[in-house]
Amino acid sequence: MPFLQNNPSIAEALAEHNYAEPTAVQAAVMAAQPADADLLVSAQTGSGKTVAFGLAISATLLGENPRFEQAGTPLALIVAPTRELALQVHRELNWLFAKTGARVLSCVGGMDPRAERRELARGAHIVVGTPGRLRDHMERGSLDTSALRIVVLDEADEMLDLGFREDLEFLLDAMPAERRTLLFSATIAREIASLAKRFQRDAVRIDTVDKSRSHTDIEYQAVRIAPNDVEHAVVNLLRYRDAGASLVFLGTREAVNRLHSKLVERGFSAVALSGEFTQNERNHALQALRDGRAKVCVATDVAARGLDLPDLSLVIHAELPRNRDTLLHRSGRTGRAGKKGVCAILVPHTKRRLAERLFQNAGIDVSWVSPPTPDQIRKQDQERLLDNAIFSEPPNEDDNALAAELIAKKTPEEIATALARIYRAQLPAAEDLFESGPPDQRGDKKWSPTRDLAGEGPGPGPRRDREPRTDMQWFRMNAGRHNNADPRWLIPLICRLGHITKKEIGAIRVFDRETKFEIAVSAAKAFMESVNKAEDPEVRIAPAAAPGDAKGGPGGYKGGPGGGGYKGGPGGGKPPGGGYKGDKPRPQGDRPSGPPKKRRPV
């Protein structure tokens, strides 16, 4: 169906922006009957809602008239939950109404209220703002709502979640009763339905959300990583995809600042976005993404709604989202207006089950993948270089002259090598990552959950037939076979948290729900101090007794050193070497000549 629009000025603006076919929500809004009805609309993020209610405003205020009359008291008001979304709506309506002579103003928190009051005094046709700032202008008398003919509440569910209900009710109560009210929301929950019932008249219900499937323009990938490989995995994903614009989401401002600094240090053109930034700083960051000066934005959930970047094709959840809505709203920044996008969710082995429940609740189809390797990234770099536009652009005279001189003085191999070096010098280096999945997922031989695994430290791990180690101390960690614990990522994690090297790590024993490992006694005290200072909420490490061993050595039955040996053996409550009553002393680790009394390992 062609994009039908009766107003010639609006039709021309749509054509200039390549709008040939309406989205589902746009078509439904334009087809709603009666034409002046209130609308209660639920639609997915990125479905073209701004243009949809822009068309409704045009139909209500202009009809077939090509231009507005001189600006005066506002005729339309759009209320949005966040500054970013309000400014995004303001930009969209500016181009949509550019040929109609419309004066579109924005009133948002963080901007100069005095400048906004001056602009309102000059008159406006359409005002876009956030609830708190609009209420402030109304209370001060600088915003006159007496002539409003249409009101739009965009992302109404988010406004209620943010606690704006009182402000919304104040705004709506002060508006003319004979107005058209459009309410847009991702979902129509009880509070939204209550708001609609109170402030709308016989609203036409429009639902364009397909609840049986997730956003079809987004490819979801769950990326298996080691718990301490988040930063490296983000680097490799950014390098492998090389998206025009990418968003990396984290949970806290501190994490955002830390990762942003790391990416800039590695050579990425990155900006940061969080709640501590001023509106001016946010605007500069977003503009850098839009004009290509930056390609990566590291952000908290402040960017999860209302952020529309035309070239945003990659969203990375560097930390698992808290819930279904956070996952979908973050991911919805890409795959917008018919364009395809990729959403990568980093999943440490210890959080796989949590991630699987999250994906199930969100109703999304996820592909489990490994993070890109340096070899895969180098291959992508080669393909991108060969497809680069520099090889297809027609040369000018200066290009031809320089090319001729190069050919005269250098061999083709030297020229090609120099070109490759120049190209690679502009790219951040890829990172080496630890194994991206437990052995049974990679096709390796499956290892026993209680197998002795020697580290590269002083001597081999504890064997069942040797003397107890006195130069090592045992510790336990709250990750085991059920968390896909694997020494390939446990060793670097232990090193990072405890500020030690592999040389101080002895044996590693993996059990169902925990892992025990040895640390050299000489480093044990400093190791525990560093672990306590790390304050990692996901990893708990504490001193432990040696793991159980059926043959009596270290970690054997209750009574041996650290819980080992049979009762009566060294540390068993009887004199050393007492063993069974009447037995002669034996070297530790020897079995009695008679059948041992059955005891349960500790």
pLDDT digits (tens, 9 = 90+) for 518-549: 999 999 998 998 888 876 677 889 999 887 64
From residue 316, give the alpha-carbon distance in Å to each of 140, 246, 305, 445: 43, 8, 15, 32
Residue 41 in this model has a pLDDT that exceeds 50 = yes
Q: In the CATH scheme, what architecture does the domain 8-207 have?
A: 3-Layer(aba) Sandwich (3.40)
Task: Return d(Cα 94, Cα 105) in angstroms, integer.
Answer: 9
Phi, psi of 348, rounded to the nearest 5 degrees: -60, 150
Greater model confidence, 309 or 379 = 379
How many angstroms separate the first and last alpha carbons of the chain?
73
- Helical H segments across 17-82, by residue range: 24-31, 49-61
DSSP bridge pairs for 299 = 249, 273
Task: Return d(Cα 518, Cα 11) in angstroms, integer.
Answer: 73
Q: Which of 119-123, 289-293, 538-542, 579-583 has the lowest mean pLDDT?
A: 579-583
From residue 59, give the alpha-carbon distance in Å to each of 19, 301, 503: 18, 35, 74
Percent of the chain with pLDDT over 70: 80
DSSP bridge pairs for 126 = 76, 104
pLDDT attached to residue 221: 94
pLDDT attached to residue 193: 84
pLDDT attached to residue 215: 54
User: Smallest Cα–Cα separation from 58: which of 128, 23, 130, 6?
Assistant: 6
Q: What is the mean pLDDT of residues 328-349?
A: 82
pLDDT attached to residue 469: 64
pLDDT attached to residue 339: 73
pLDDT attached to residue 68: 93
Q: DSSP per residue over 391-448, as a string?
A: GTSPP-HHHHHHHHHHHHHS-HHHHHHHHHHHHHHTSPPP-----SS-HHHHTPPPPP
Q: What is the pLDDT of residues 47-101, one digit of tens each?
A: 788 999 999 999 999 988 889 999 999 999 999 988 888 988 999 999 999 999 9
Q: What is the mean pLDDT of residues 182-187?
A: 84
Greater model confidence, 403 or 484 = 403
Walk across the sheet containing 515-520 and list its strands: 452-454, 505-510, 515-520, 472-477, 541-543
Yes or no: say if 315 and 334 are a contact pair by the CB < 8 Å rule. yes
Task: Return d(Cα 107, Cα 401) in angstroms, integer.
Answer: 55
Contacts of 265 (CB under 8 A, 6+ apart): none
Q: What is the mean pLDDT of residues 147-160?
A: 88
Q: In the CATH scheme, what architecture does the domain 218-373 have?
A: 3-Layer(aba) Sandwich (3.40)
Task: Return d(Cα 541, Cα 495) in angstroms, integer.
Answer: 12
pLDDT attached to residue 315: 94
Highest mean pLDDT among 45-54, 233-242, 336-345: 233-242
User: Smallest Cα–Cα separation from 78: which of 11, 168, 8, 161?
Assistant: 168
CATH number (3.40.30, 3.20.20, 3.30.70, 1.10.357) of 439-543 reads: 3.30.70
pLDDT attached to residue 3: 55
Task: Tell me if domain 218-373 and domain 439-543 are identical in fold.
Answer: no
| pLDDT confidence band for 275 (50 / 70 / 90) | confident
pLDDT attached to residue 566: 34
Residue 598 in this model has a pLDDT that exceeds 70 = no
Q: What is the mean pLDDT of the chain?
A: 80
Q: SS3 for 255?
A: helix
pLDDT attached to residue 304: 65
Task: Return d(Cα 286, Cα 272) in angstroms, integer.
Answer: 9
Going by their DSSP bridges, the two strands 515-520 and 505-510 should be labelled as antiparallel
pLDDT attached to residue 548: 67
Q: Give domain limits for the chain.
A: 8-207, 218-373, 377-425, 439-543
Record the pTM: 0.55
Residue 121 in this model has a pLDDT that exceeds 50 = yes
Q: What is the pLDDT of residues 404-444, one digit of tens each?
A: 989 999 998 988 889 888 888 888 888 877 654 444 443 33
User: Smallest Cα–Cα separation from 175: which of 199, 159, 192?
Assistant: 199
Task: Return d(Cα 249, Cα 465) in angstroms, integer.
Answer: 51
